[in-house]
Amino acid sequence: MAKQSQYFFLEEWLRSTIITSNNKGGSVHSASSSAQAIIQAWSDLRDSLQCQSFHAHHLQALKLLVDSQASLHVAEPQAKLLLSILSLQNLTFPSESHPLFFRLLYIWLRKSRQSSQVVESATDILLHLLSFQSRSNRSPLFLSEGILLLGAISFQTSLTDNSKRVCLEFLCKLLEQECRDLLFSDDLVSNVLAGIGYALSSSMTIYFGNLLDILFRIWGQEDGPSGTISQGLMLLHLIEWVLSNSLRSQSLDKIDLVKGVLETVSPTHSSFAVVMASAGTLRAVNRSGRSGFMHLANTAEGRIETLARDLVSRIKYLGHLEHDPKFNLLLQCTALALARSGAVAYRDSLLVCLSFALLTEVFPLQRIYAEVLKLPKENWNLVLNEIEKHISSAIYKEAGAITGILCNQYASANEDSRSFVENLIWDYCQKVYSWHRQATLILLGSQDKLISELEKVAESTFLMVVVFSLGVTKHRLDSRINQEIQLQISVRILIALSCMEYFRRMRLPEYMDTIRAVIVYVQENESACVSFVESIPSYDDLTHNHGSSNTAKLQSVWSTDEVQTARIVFYMRVIPTCIEQLPAPVFRKVVTPTMFLFLGHPNGKVARYSHSVFVAFISSGKDPSQNERDLLKEQLVYFYMRRSLEAFPGITPFEGMASGVVALVRYLPAGCPSIFYCIQGLVEKVNTLCSAVNREDIDLWKNWEGALEPSKKVLDLLFRLLSLVDIQVLPSLMKSLAQLIVQLPVNGQNMPLNQLYQQIAESDDVIRKPALISWLQSLSYLCSQEQISQPKYTPKALGICVPSWGTLIILFGLFRKETAVPRYPQQGSWMNAIESSLFKQWLKNIQMETGLLANGDMSLKKVLIQSVDMFGSRLGFLKFKAEVVDKETGKKVPGIVFARGPAVAVLILLDSDGETYAVLTEQVEEETGLHLNLSDVIDLTSFLDPSTGCRGGCDEDLGLFLYRGRVDKDKIKQLQGKEMGLREHGELIKVHVVPYKSLWRMTSDAKVLMAIALYEMAQRDGLLPPLRN
């Protein structure tokens, strides 16, 4: 509110307190003229006095001066000039001139110092004009300016008491007779109220009570104006201004008179005026900070409470809110009075009255929607004008303040009152949702501006609901409140916010705080979760219009209903947070139809929320009836994949579908048929999409862009599943992918193969990586063969073999159609592993007298072949896992074996001229020319105790042998640095001959160091035979 000290004129300050869209504040005379023009105007008026005439240019001079009132200063000489002109008896003035004279004299009184003689003269002239002016010349403007000037004169301290008494008496008489005709214009009312305000602040109190009585009676008379919000606000601040002056000057008589009038309101007093005057009184006391006048504040509060109680009683008696202009005005004024009064003590009737005012007057959506639905199309412009007018009104602009007062009252209310108000607002939200859906269906496309204006009001309503909801969470969701009530409130808040979700157009911290506060209770309680979920609009409601008779005839496409969509998205965002508490039957009955419906929503963002609900349910798993939940999960997969794939790539967002596929692969039981169905559906989708693309477009297939981009996305998803699916599903996935890739055009195979190479190379999954490597090698071979001969390939699974000990061995490969079956090492590698000497020797070792199974304490349950590496046609390395169980304890014994078979290393020592040399090489005979016979070497490991074995996971049996011989010096020089090996095979082998005494420092090879140690120990103990020539 603008401060009064910024204004010279009370009526301007009163107008400034009205919040309107056209910024009616300050002076209505805002034009300014040049100093020269103002001087000329005063000169013209002096000519009028001298010539004792008044012509059009004299009237124009008055208008120019009044229009410049903001910068105009009227001194006493100018005032005398004006009074002299008005005193001329032989002149006839135009009717519009007197208000201008009054205004200039008023400026003089408010801006200049006055002598009592001139003020007395002005009083006489004014009273004469007001008394004897013919009724035809007493226009509303003439009367309002006269009342304003009369009040301003009575406010002057330089005026004698007798003159003041005359002024005040005449003012009371004039108000009684003429005031009714002055209440039809806010500008006129501001002048009248300012004049009364000046008079009430006069030093004489004898007419104070009479003026108050008139002020309270001028509205609401029979056949008279009932008042407006703007007039009510000006009255409120007028009383504030008068009482603030009285409180500062300690005018106890005036204060007691105000208190008395408020305590004993006359039946002739307008409730409209009483409630606004009470608010002004309360505001003045609150802003004064004087505790000694709390009795006055209490009286004002009591009067407002009495009026509010009467309003509430009338509403409850009727059972509904009637559309009566006087009643609606009083409800609005009560709300505004409380909003501008400052702190107000809690009273039950105030809380309820504020609630009704917000829902019917501040946000009159029910009335507006009813007009839209009932009025014919040609009258919709009237509704638009009504909304625009309301948006610019003071009551609408005070919505925030009124909501704040409501929350303050709510904080102190009892439980019954709180529940009553809560139910009012929650039900109102659901009605707004229904009303706006119907109105939008009717207006969309033809009255978009009307919809836009409607939504402005609804957006403000949403803000009110959010602020109130946050207040509810602060006062109702604490340990003092019964838990069942807390759960009910949390659910009601969520439902209300879901209804208003469409109108949430900005990020509000209060909104997020409210959601966080209530979602905790819903997440932790099954009944609350079920109650919230069951409030979702049914499938029938979503897809069919069940509104009014007007809207029922219109066809509505569910996906274009943005109001409904916004509400469903709200549910889709909340349900994943409480999915663990949601029983499977409820999810099946309530959520599933809506989820599958919105999977096909054309808005990708909306569809993704449906996918997120599916993911949340698939990944949930705390249902007491887990079997029922798992069964439902598997059933939903079939519908989910069909619904998702049929709308891809046009509608279904790939990210949403991918998240659903990954979730079902991760969380469904291993080997679940639904997973196989999912993979089959994805593969068929890729085939379908690829078949629609021209196979001859080489660039397109090389880059997999454009028309192939959707296919590439699904193919990438299938590649990703290679590392996610369980071992039971992996063979089927590998088979399907092989079929898919081999059938692609040759130019389209490179990209998938390269991607597979990179993915498998970067994988750290030691369990499935070997199988994937073998599979990819076979697949790459077939693709490369096709690139040479262009034959047709048909992938085919060799089968799944389960040996008697329970090991799963996967045999997987590719056959060429209509050609001889090529022999790939990978195809027989798994069976070769079982038939190999490595595996058989391991089985023999653990069953020997010193083996693990010898004493019968251990039991071999099964063996899992994990990887096989072939060296050409020969088995090289074998890795498997044996499950061995201690029969006594039942515990498993670690049994990971890396079988690579025995190996041999020979320590070659050559003696030359008393110096012993060691030869370092890989292939002895090929590179040194030395022929080693078994009789020439000594087995150093034969000196060891064979009963102690290695505890590691590798079965490698390393045999260390010693060869000693004599050679001449030339042979040593010949061997030193000799290079051997087949260059075409990439071999480059260099022979190194080093003195034996330096050998232990020349290499860190463990075989060499072990051989040196065994040699030294055997030589020390005399176990070696003498060196022969």
Q: Which helix (H) or strand (E) holds 994?
A: strand 992-995
pLDDT value, residue 23 = 46
Parts of the chain with a pLDDT under 50: 1-5, 20-30, 549, 551-555, 789-828, 982-988
* One-letter amino acid of 601: H
| CB of 778 closer than 8 Å to CB of 742 | no
| Whole-number Å distance between alpha carbons of 1011 and 131 | 139
| Whole-number Å distance between alpha carbons of 16 and 983 | 102
Instruction: Determine the Cα angle at 709 with ends 707 and 714, to 5°.
Output: 125
Helix intervals (H) in 289-445: 294-318, 325-341, 348-357, 365-374, 380-391, 394-397, 399-411, 415-443
pLDDT value, residue 818 = 29
Tokens representing 431 are: 């009605």
If we measure between CA atoms, which residue out of 669, 662, 701, 874 comes closest to residue 787? 701
Mind listing the pLDDT tens digit for each residue in 181-200? 778 788 889 999 999 999 99
pLDDT value, residue 825 = 36
| CB of 576 closer than 8 Å to CB of 619 | no
| Whole-number Å distance between alpha carbons of 514 and 43 | 70
pLDDT value, residue 318 = 63
Query: What dihedral do alpha carbons 576, 580, 586, 592 form, nearest 10°?
Result: 40
| Whole-number Å distance between alpha carbons of 1004 and 462 | 78
Q: Which residue has the tokens 């692969």?
A: 665
How is residue 954 annotated by DSSP? Answer: B
Residue 161 burial (10 A CB sphere; 0-12, 13-18, 19+): exposed
Cβ contacts of 758 within 8 Å, gap of 6 or more: none
| CB of 812 closer than 8 Å to CB of 731 | yes
* One-letter amino acid of 928: T
Q: Which residues of 987-1022 are buried (b: 16+ CB within 10 A; e: fewer)?
A: eeeebebeebeebeeeeeeeebebbbebbeebeeee
Cβ contacts of 479 within 8 Å, gap of 6 or more: none
Average pLDDT of the residues of the chain: 83
The Cα-based distances of 12 to 32, 179, 193, 681 in angstroms read 17, 20, 11, 77
Count Cα neighbours of 421 within 13 Å in the Cβ-side half-sphere.
30
Selected from 3.90.79, 3.30.450, 3.40.1350, 1.10.10, the CATH number assigned to the domain covering 903-1020 reads 3.90.79
pLDDT value, residue 744 = 87
If we measure between CA atoms, which residue out of 300, 193, 203, 296 comes closest to residue 249? 203
Selected from 1.25.10, 3.40.50, 3.90.1280, 3.30.1380, the CATH number assigned to the domain covering 1-204 reads 1.25.10
pLDDT value, residue 27 = 43
How is residue 548 annotated by DSSP? Answer: -
pLDDT value, residue 303 = 93
If we measure between CA atoms, which residue out of 687, 770, 702 comes closest to residue 736? 687
Of all residues in the chain, what percent are helix, strand and coil, respectively (each to 5)? 65, 10, 30
Give bridge partners of residue 883 from the DSSP assignment: 862
DSSP string, 759-785: HHHH---TTTHHHHHHHHHHHHHHHHH
pLDDT value, residue 612 = 96
pLDDT value, residue 402 = 95
pLDDT value, residue 605 = 92
| Whole-number Å distance between alpha carbons of 541 and 538 | 5
> Which residue ranges make up each domain of the chain?
1-204, 206-345, 347-535, 554-668, 685-822, 830-899, 903-1020
